[in-house]
Amino acid sequence: MTQQLIVTDARKCERSYKLSCLFPPSKPRVYLWPEDESVMDNFFRRWARPVKAYREVMPAVLKKAGLEDTVKFRWSQKAGCSCGCSPGFILQMSKYSNFDIHADIKVVEGVVK
Ligand SMILES: [Zn+2]
């Protein structure tokens, strides 16, 4: 049985803090949240995400969040925190965009068109 990763939702979230010297401008981050994942599972899997499969759904994530699906991105284990606990994609666009994207993803059986 083949499995496929699909994007169920993607939200563009304005950052709640104001840019300051404590929070210097940084490029938008994209965090993917697997559905049906417990808090514990999430904690233990943070350092072993299926990055290749994540890359493949990124155009869908960008589109759902209202962005061009051609925006370049790169995976970073340290996207959200310098200790590596919050991996995600960093969008290669204007570093003054004050938002991040949170996307819900899930694994489905078979191939969804
Ligand atoms: Zn951390």
Predicted confidence (pLDDT) per residue in 35-61, tens digit: 989 999 998 899 899 999 999 999 999
Phi-psi region of 47 (alpha: psi -120 to 50; beta: other; left: phi over 0): alpha
What average pLDDT score do residues 65-75 get? 95
Structure tokens of 77? 């284990």
d(CA 85, ligand 1 centre) in Å: 4
d(CA 108, ligand 1 centre) in Å: 30
d(CA 25, ligand 1 centre) in Å: 19
d(CA 70, ligand 1 centre) in Å: 29
Q: The whole model's pTM is what?
A: 0.86
Predicted confidence (pLDDT) per residue in 1-20, tens digit: 688 899 999 999 988 776 66
d(CA 40, ligand 1 centre) in Å: 15
Question: Is the predicted pLDDT of residue 74 greater than 90, yes or no?
Answer: yes
pLDDT of res. 90:
96
**Torsion angle of alpha carbons 51, 63, 19, 77, nearest 10°?**
0
Mean pLDDT of the chain: 89
Stretch (H or E) spanning 109: strand 99-109
